[in-house]
Structure 1
Amino acid sequence: SNLEITLSVDGEVKGRGTTADLARSVPELVALASSMFTLLPGDIILTGAAFPSIPAGPGAEVVCSVEGIGDLRNPVTE
């Protein structure tokens, strides 16, 4: 309910926040999503950007980290 979220580009932290900053709690988001469709193991619920738009060009690596859960790594391509 209050997990740290960080956004990094090529290892440089560009944004920091917590799940407490979300407009709805994580249980509310899961309940809302599951009322509209079936959630399966491995499904991801995207909540939108918690940080301002951050430019990242081809070849960059964007990493979103959630405390206690792990990292989502995305290479930027063309």
Structure 2
Amino acid sequence: MYHSDMDMEIVETPVDTPEKFGQLIRMRRVIFDYTQENLAEKAGVSRMAIKRLEAGNPNVRLDTALKAAQAVGVPLPTILEGNPK
């Protein structure tokens, strides 16, 4: 996952928990200027599914997580390896 500070320095940290994955999806959604509703529509899932995903719920369906990640441009290796490039 990427974090930025006031100087816009990018720091890479592993995406190895549902919480971190949810944070990554939320951060990317904000970068794309999507609301949860916009992202849900683009991903073909419900807004509640996006809300649960961003909250780090470990019981989100895999296909929901993959659709949301694809909709905000998170590469598959980030999801599988927990190592964003």
Shorter-chain TM-score: what band?
under 0.3
TM-score (norm 1): 0.27
The structure with more helix, counted as a fraction of residues: 2
TM-score (norm 2): 0.26
The structure with more strand, counted as a fraction of residues: 1
Q: Which has the larger radius of gyration?
A: 1
